[in-house]
Structure 1
Amino acid sequence: MKPFDPRLLRYARASRSVFILGGVLGLVRTLAILAWSWCLAQAITAVALPWLGNEGGAAGRIGEGAFAPEDLPLLIGGGLVALCVRSAAAWGMDAVAARGAVRVKAQLRAAALDAVDARSPEHSSERSDSAHATTLGRGLDALDGYFSGYVPQLVLTVVATPILIIAVLFADPVSGITVLVVFPIIPVFMILIGMATQAVQDRQWAQLQRLSSSFLDAVAGLATLKIFGREQRQSARIAAETEEYRSRTMKVLRVTFLSGFVLDLAGTFSIALVAVTVGTRLVNGEFPLGLGLFVLLLLPEVFIPIRQVGAAFHASTEGLAASGEVFELIEGPRGGDAAAERTGGAAAGGEVRGGTAGAIRLTDVRIARGGRAVVGPLSLDVAPGEVVAIAGPSGAGKSTVFAALLGFVEPAAGVIERPAQLAWVGQRAGLLQGTVAANVTLGAETVDTGRVRRALDAAGLPALAPEHELGAVGAGVSGGQAQRIAIARALYRAWTLGPETALLLDEPTSALDRGTEALVCRALRDEADTGRAVVVVSHRQAVLDAADRVVHVRPAEPESLSLAEEEATR
């Protein structure tokens, strides 16, 4: 967890204006502080010196450089102007930070969603939907505290603190050297407390992710839980997760309050140390009263930014933790980079070609994951009008071949030729909240209600109304119905895109009974009879029997990329 991550400037351009404008306003505020402190110190001196008279209080250098009482209106006017400028600059910094936070959050969300959209579904499935929602929702919203509280103080620490220390050093070298000696104590305390804060904050953030996942799982399976009477158990589990999150939140708050107390204590002791030296010299008449008051007025301003930046940092750690995950999401592998990561950097050895007039052809294709051989060499031809099934034991690489055909995994070697357009069904239905029709036509520019009805009938859902509403992640239908809605979606897409669109299905009947499975097999055969290439990954015997050819895949040998292909002509 970094107090400032340079990636923020890279992925959220709006943050640049926040820091630039904040720096300019911070400089104006600092100059106003200097002017206000000087005018106030000289005004107090002009009023106090006549009262001190010559009774010893005004002896020595006490009256050196003092203004006459006649200059008091000018000093008060200058101080009021400086105070107004300081207040306006502070308001401007807060306004710039608040508005910048809105733009920064929008830009980070857009960049993260673009990254997820460009990523292979295989890589995207590594994080749950609830984790994405928590990070991009609640997590990024916590950046409001970072920008409204932490960033202005960080800017002041960088801009104002050096200028004010130099001003004190020039006004009184002894006080300036004392400040330089005691000032590093506060950053040391900040680092030590920050290390403790990071540990408790990371645990709190992880607990929030678990709580979000538990709640989403409970909502998604609420109907099933009610059927089996297990809703109370899930309610107790969520209550326990909530209590754990509450406990961890209180630990974060305790550390935050402790850090604020320690930083205030260190700053107070530092100011007191300098004030004692200034006061002693004033009493002895070794220091001008106006200059001494100027130094004493500046001392709190020197320590305030560094003290407040520590407190504000601990108050915005949740947003920092979430932004770190957003940066990892944005910088994660996408497209060819993702394939290169999964194939151990060998993705460039293979080639994927499009536009084969509906046919699918694999020539000496080898696939690796993490540098380990998974599939290959494999040569396969699927002509338009054929149904080809890929079978084999679990872990043999069936889904890997399917992912390579879809472009989610690039081959380490060999050539894959496929149509430019594909319609596919994955192992997960991937349904969204909305109507059945909206799920079937997902991604389509126009909606053909007659085609939707035809697709549902072909998938074995003649009784399911297209206007039926689904809940979150497709709640409201059984697992078998969800699988058939996904098949209807693929059929709708294939019919919309045209006859050269190949149809790919991964375990499409794993949750279906035999009768419904026969209907789906009939639909696949009908699609092939129209001149469409159909590839189906399955371990169900009925699907294998319905295919024209079956390709049996075995796991690759540890030291070589090998795949035994056995074809049975039906």
Structure 2
Amino acid sequence: MKPLDPRLLGYARAARVFLAAGAVIGLAQTACIVGFAWFLSQVIVRAIHGQSLDELAPMIAALAGVVIARALLLWIAEVTSTRGAARVKSQLRSRVLTAVTELGPGWMAARNATSVATVTGPGLDALDTYFSRYLPQLILTAIATPVVVLVIFLQDWPSALGVVLTLPIIPVFMILIGWATQTVQKKQWRLLNSLSTSFLDVVGGLATLTLFGRAARQAERIRSVTEQYRVQTMKVLRVSFLSGFVLELVSSLAVAVVAVSVGLRLIDGSLGLSVGLFVLLLAPEAFLPLRQVGTQFHAAADGVAAADDVFEILDAASAGASATRSNAGADIAIVRMSDGPSAGALRLSGFAAGYDDRPVIGPIDAEFPAGSFTAITGPSGVGKSTLVAALLGFVAHTGAVTLDGHAIEAGATGLDWISWCGQRPGLFAGSVFENVALASRAPDRAMAARALAIAAADEIDLDRMLGVAGAGLSGGQAQRVSIARAVYRALERHSAVLVLDEPSSALDELSEARLVDGLRTLTESATITLIVVTHREALARAADSILSLEPAAMAA
């Protein structure tokens, strides 16, 4: 666990500004520390020598000014750290969401979605302590400790030598304690992810668990993981409290060594009272920043652990962006191509796609004319959904994709040219209108009503409120609302291509026929190229053409 991961500066630019501001504030705080010790020692020594209050007034005023300045700097540091944490969290969350989008469903399929949500949610929230407590203290330590030791050396080199010799003891104990903390902290973080995942799995499958009489066992499992998390949390707290005690004890003993040396030399007259008192006031300030860093390290451990997981996601996205994958030689054979490209057509040339260097589909040469209705058919596992995911930029592919003769490059071109509805509705809590007009630039009720009519869902009220995951609608209704959302996007953003993945799998024959009629009106009136992945014969018969994906052995 690094004190400051360099990747933080690369992935969150706000962190650079925060560190620069922290350095300036830390330097000013160090000046206040030295000034406070000097003015206080002078006031005490001069009072002992018999100066009057009037004579001491300037020194007392200066001392008060230093105290006020130090308090003001503490407030500025708190404000700076709070704002810095908010900005860094915002930038990291934004980059993580972008990274997950770039990595796509193929990457997410191999990972736990709940774990990713936990990292980007409460995990990044733990960075508050990291920025408001740990990093400011780390910066102050890097500035204050060397400066204070240098000032002590200029005043009394034997005391400075004592500080330098005893100072390394604290980092040694910090490293030893840090190893222990890292172990228990990582285990606690894994248990939190396990608890979140278990709870979500139980909620998602509660109906099935109840039907098979397994709900009680799952409740016991969650209770067990919760107890493990509680025990591990107490272990983390125990290590934190013990480490705080050890650091306090070590630093107190180190200061005592310096104090005894100063006291003995004051007694024998080899050291003046002014210098001795000044050194005694500064000596604890040399050890205090290091001790505070050790204390705040434990408070920030959650945020550091979560940041490590965030950086792994961002690193994966960076590696994926620069990686070149070759998917040629897939076990799929399809040839479907007109003699020449037609105006407005979507054209695939040598198109191949796969996951983790494993070819799934291709190479393909195919064309989808503008305003046409094409059904993509084939046995399960042949690569139909992979083809769609590659068009959306979620899966790496090779070959050329052109629309009306212009190259389409995922990420660079954007996705306004294509609208899509997957096999799962993906609805959220809110009104039907909010679901249909999701991410709309200017929500339009008339357009939403038209989209519902095209999706054969005009009987569903736009103001109808839905629960989590679209609760309140039947499976077929939810599917049609999600189709309406894709249609709405295509109409609003003037998408040239609309892709529907198994759009009628939950529909009866009558609803399916109405859906086909609605989609027909869409392609005829808006000249949208419609591509439908389906196993249903009715949709295949209604299409203008069929792109049949078959394994090479079957095609032969």
Q: Name the amino acid aligned to 2:496.
A: T
Matches within 5 A, 1:128-207: 130-207=114-191
- Alignment match, 2:411: none
Among candidates 394, 400, 413, match of residue 415 of structure 1: 400
Any idea what the Cα deviations from partners look like across 1:139-168, whole Å, max 9, x if unmatched? 333222222221231122011100111122
Any idea what the Cα deviations from partners look like across 1:500-552, whole Å, max 9, x if unmatched? 83332223334445565555455555656666533222344554455454444
Partner Cα separation in structure 1 for residue 342 and residue 519 of structure 2: 21
Among candidates 474, 478, 491, match of residue 482 of structure 1: 478
| SS of aligned partner of 1:333 | helix
Among candidates 58, 66, 71, match of residue 82 of structure 1: 66
Normalised to the residue count of structure 2, the TM-score between the two structures is 0.82
Partner Cα separation in structure 1 for residue 234 and residue 27 of structure 2: 37
Q: Name the amino acid aligned to 2:436.
A: V
Any idea what the Cα deviations from partners look like across 1:69-110, whole Å, max 9, x if unmatched? 996555545444433333333333233323433343344444
Q: Name the amino acid aligned to 2:33.
A: I
Q: Is the 8 A contact 1:389 1:544 kept in 2?
A: yes
- Alignment match, 1:343: 325
| SS of aligned partner of 1:381 | strand
Q: Is the 8 A contact 1:342 1:409 kept in 2?
A: no
Among candidates 332, 336, 352, match of residue 366 of structure 1: 352
Partner Cα separation in structure 2 for residue 81 and residue 408 of structure 1: 60
What displacement does 1:302 show?
Answer: 0.5
* Greater shift in the superposed pair: 298-307 or 268-277: 268-277
Partner Cα separation in structure 2 for residue 459 and residue 494 of structure 1: 13
- Alignment match, 1:263: 247
Matches within 5 A, 1:379-528: 379-384=365-370, 386-412=372-398, 414-418=399-403, 421-461=417-457, 463-496=459-492, 501-512=496-507, 516-517=511-512, 519-521=514-516, 523-524=518-519
| SS of aligned partner of 2:504 | coil
- Structure 1 residues 496 and 176: CA distance shift in structure 2, 3 A: closer
- Structure 1 residues 508 and 247: CA distance shift in structure 2, 3 A: farther
- Alignment match, 1:55: none
Q: Is the 8 A contact 2:454 2:519 kept in 1?
A: no
Q: Is the 8 A contact 2:327 2:360 kept in 1?
A: no
- Alignment match, 1:56: none
Q: Is the 8 A contact 2:266 2:272 kept in 1?
A: yes
What displacement does 1:357 show?
Answer: 4.1
Partner Cα separation in structure 1 for residue 504 and residue 400 of structure 2: 30
- Structure 1 residues 451 and 282: CA distance shift in structure 2, 3 A: closer
What displacement does 1:173 show?
Answer: 2.0
What displacement does 1:272 show?
Answer: 1.9
Partner Cα separation in structure 1 for residue 42 and residue 17 of structure 2: 37
Partner Cα separation in structure 1 for residue 220 and residue 4 of structure 2: 39
Any idea what the Cα deviations from partners look like across 1:475-498, whole Å, max 9, x if unmatched? 333444322222222333445556
What displacement does 1:175 show?
Answer: 2.1
Q: Is the 8 A contact 1:404 1:411 kept in 2?
A: yes
| SS of aligned partner of 2:302 | helix
Any idea what the Cα deviations from partners look like across 1:345-394, whole Å, max 9, x if unmatched? 99xxxxxxxx9644232223233433333322212223345443333444
Any idea what the Cα deviations from partners look like across 1:19-67, whole Å, max 9, x if unmatched? 33332332233223223323333444455679xxxxxxxxxxxxxxxx9
What displacement does 1:261 show?
Answer: 1.4
* Greater shift in the superposed pair: 438-447 or 245-254: 438-447
- Larger Rg, first or second structure (1 or 2): 1
- Alignment match, 1:33: 33
Q: Is the 8 A contact 1:460 1:516 kept in 2?
A: yes
Partner Cα separation in structure 2 for residue 102 and residue 4 of structure 1: 18
Aligned positions, number: 532
Q: Is the 8 A contact 1:344 1:369 kept in 2?
A: no
Superposition RMSD in Å = 3.7
Q: Name the amino acid aligned to 1:471.
A: G
**Structure 1, unaligned runs of 5 or more:** 51-66, 347-354, 556-562
* Greater shift in the superposed pair: 427-436 or 459-468: 459-468
- Structure 1 residues 103 and 492: CA distance shift in structure 2, 3 A: closer
What displacement does 1:123 show?
Answer: 4.4
Q: Is the 8 A contact 1:552 1:565 kept in 2?
A: no
Q: Is the 8 A contact 2:327 2:362 kept in 1?
A: no
Any idea what the Cα deviations from partners look like across 1:370-429, whole Å, max 9, x if unmatched? 3333322212223345443333444332222222333333532x3223367323222332
Partner Cα separation in structure 1 for residue 54 and residue 498 of structure 2: 93
- Alignment match, 1:64: none
**Structure 2, unaligned runs of 5 or more:** 329-340, 405-415
What displacement does 1:273 show?
Answer: 2.1
Tell me if 1:100 matches 2:84: yes
Tell me if 1:19 matches 2:19: yes
- Alignment match, 2:534: 538
| SS of aligned partner of 2:317 | coil
Any idea what the Cα deviations from partners look like across 1:202-240, whole Å, max 9, x if unmatched? 232233333334444555566777888876666555444
Matches within 5 A, 1:211-230: 211-217=195-201
Q: Is the 8 A contact 1:366 1:375 kept in 2?
A: yes
Q: Name the amino acid aligned to 2:256.
A: A
Any idea what the Cα deviations from partners look like across 1:224-268, whole Å, max 9, x if unmatched? 778888766665554444333323222221221122112112212
| SS of aligned partner of 1:486 | helix
- Alignment match, 2:4: 4
* Greater shift in the superposed pair: 431-440 or 387-396: 387-396
- Structure 1 residues 243 and 474: CA distance shift in structure 2, 3 A: farther
Q: Is the 8 A contact 1:33 1:83 kept in 2?
A: no
| SS of aligned partner of 1:259 | helix
Q: Is the 8 A contact 1:356 1:418 kept in 2?
A: no
- Structure 1 residues 480 and 44: CA distance shift in structure 2, 3 A: same
Partner Cα separation in structure 2 for residue 405 and residue 544 of structure 1: 21
Q: Is the 8 A contact 2:375 2:547 kept in 1?
A: yes
Partner Cα separation in structure 1 for residue 18 and residue 554 of structure 2: 61
- Alignment match, 2:331: none
Q: Name the amino acid aligned to 1:32.
A: C
